[in-house]
Chain A
Amino acid sequence: MAKKWGHFVRSWMTKNMELPQDVMMDLPRITMIGQIHIYIENHRGLLAFSDKELRLLLKQGQLLIKGKAFVIKTILPEEILLEGKIDSVTYITDND
């Protein structure tokens, strides 16, 4: 009950006070440059990494990126810069 209420307050604040949503609600901010770069902030860790696939843990759910020739250019606790040829970015949420 309390958690839900907190969530409600936050979404109300972002709506009415024009605060950035990624900060307020711990959502990932994804910046893509064409197909070659993808920059994800606010992730919660690496789940799987291979040439063709990157799976990231988010606060809610996971993010699946598919493509070719992946190289992690930089990885920091909450940020990741991926390089390669990106085909798809998919959100995977359990409670759908």
Chain B
Amino acid sequence: MKNQWIEFYRGLVTVKASGKGIERFINALTRSGIYIWNVKNHGTQAVTFKMKLEDAKKIRSLARNSDCKIEFLQRAGAPFLFKRLLKNSGFVAGALAFFAVILLLSNMVWGIEIKGANPATEYQIRKELDKMGVKKGKLQFFVDNVESIQRKLSNNIEAITWIGVELKGTTYHLQVVEKNEPEKPEYLSPRHLVAKKKAVIVDMFVEEGRPVVDIHDHVQPGQLLVSGIIGKEGETETVPARGEILGETWYKSTVELPLKSTFQVFNGNEKVKHSITIGSLNIPVWGFGKLEFKEYEIEENEKRIRFLKWELPFSYKNVTFREREQVTRIYSNEEAFDVAKVMARNDIKNRLEENAKVKGEKVLHQSVDNGKVTISIHFQIIENIAEGQPIIQGDTE
């Protein structure tokens, strides 16, 4: 006997045959290769049996040649189910649409919660997130991953020291630690002001204390500039000396710069491949073709697809290939000196406090050898050279 499941899959019909010579009809059927089964007798001269759907056409001509009448009673099997499914395709479409919508909604950003930030910072964070595209209703596939959000936020917003970004379901939880910048108490213990470095004093603004040096004085490091001991002899008083002593100081900066140097740069060519990953199987969705880049860097971004609260074993992945290029930069001697000067200036600025001013610069020496330029520049800087030095109690009494 054949497998009934295959018959079901192909479709089967129940046929009622009635009239005279049913037996002859059945013989004719079997001889012409029609497979019938479950032949049952119903009263006199009526029989029902089942047959394959694909044989239903053949039976008609055979029935015409016999004395029997045939009647199709029941249709069963996959083809009929499928037909009914098509008829009721609205339901199927509805069900599919339902799942699709749930799937879509499960992968959206539904909320951004910011904790630990004051309203101003929170506003700033929200603005920054908006710029990044992290908004309510955005699909999570097209949003940066958590680490890069975290990095960008902490880079772009100065008011925060640390930010923790966590994605829980459809909500981003941001935990912010703000830089607490308390007003420093202007409490100073009694002190002198002494020179930090060798300088010529240019200007003095003494708020409190007794200056002991004058403009144009040459001072050595550690030399007393403003005394914290004021008052007449005998009835002295110690105060925290305050003020700014601007002195001219000198710095030397030496910069070496090769004339020829090579860099690795991205030349802006990039290719993005999108794919859907099921387990370890990778199905490309968009971005086909071979890579034509010789050297490139790969950035992978994988996002799990979620359904309600569950993570599905599928994930959406995009891989970005960025082409890299070797660039050789060659300076002429003049250009190299110019660049070296700029570098020297930057170097000086890094070494100084913010409010220092560059008064003048003088190239001491510049040379080209071995494909390198060497330049040393002497800078004249005006900066605050005062430094507090506490007055030890024992000294005054």
Q: Are B37 and A75 in contact (CB under 8 A)?
A: yes
User: Across the two chains, which residue of chain B brings its CB closest to A56?
Assistant: B23
CB-contact partner of B38 in A45, A51, A72, under 8 A: A72
A64 lies within 8 A of chain B by Cβ: no
Chain A positions 38 through 54: 1 when the CB is less than 8 Å from some CB of chain B, otherwise 0: 00000001111111000
Q: Which residues of B contact A51 (CB under 8 A)?
A: 41
Bound Cα distance from A75 to B36, whole angstroms: 6
Does B333 have its Cβ within 8 Å of any Cβ on chain A?
A: no
Q: Which of A20-79 contact B (CB under 8 A)?
A: 45-51, 70-77
| Contact A45:B27 (CB < 8 A) given known A73-B1, A76-B35 | yes
Query: DSSP class of B's interface residues: helix, strand, loop or mixed?
Result: mixed
* Chain B interface bracket (under 10, 10 to 19, 20 to 34, 35 or more): 10 to 19
A92 on the B face (CB < 8 A): no
- The docked-state distance in angstroms from the alpha carbon of A74 to that of B50 is 10
**Interchain CA distance A75-B166 in the complex, whole Å:** 70
Q: Are A46 and B27 in contact (CB under 8 A)?
A: yes
A71 to chain B, nearest CB (A): 5
A75 vs B49: C-alpha distance when bound (angstroms): 10
B301 within 8 A of A: no
Interface presence of B47 (CB below 8 A): yes
How extensive is the interface on chain A, given as a class?
A: 10 to 19
User: Are A50 and B26 in touch, CB under 8 angstroms?
Assistant: no
Q: A46-B23, A49-B23 are in contact. Are A71 and B30 (CB under 8 A)?
A: no
Q: In whole angstroms, what is the CA distance A47 to B24 when docked?
A: 7
Q: Which of A70, A71, A75 contacts B26 (CB 8 A)?
A: A75
**Interchain CB contact under 8 A, A48 and B36:** no
Is B39 an interface residue, CB under 8 A from the partner?
yes
In angstroms, Cα B27 to Cα A77, docked, is 7
The reply to whether B41 and A49 form a contact with Cβ atoms under 8 Å apart is yes
The answer to whether A81 and B1 have CB atoms under 8 Å apart is yes
As a 0/1 sequence over residues 192 to 219 of chain B, the CB contacts with chain A under 8 angstroms (1 = contact) are 0000000000000000000000000000
Expressed in whole angstroms, the minimum distance between the Cβ of B279 and any Cβ of chain A is 45
Does A76 contact B30, Cβ atoms closer than 8 Å? yes
Q: Are B26 and A46 in contact (CB under 8 A)?
A: yes
- B31 and A75 within 8 A (CB): no
A-B CB proximity, top 8 nearest: A72-B39, A46-B23, A45-B27, A51-B41, A77-B30, A74-B37, A50-B41, A71-B40
The contact sample of 17 A-B pairs, CB cut-off 8 A, is A45-B31, A46-B23, A46-B26, A46-B27, A47-B23, A48-B23, A49-B47, A50-B44, A71-B40, A72-B39, A73-B37, A75-B26, A75-B36, A76-B35, A77-B30, A77-B31, A77-B33
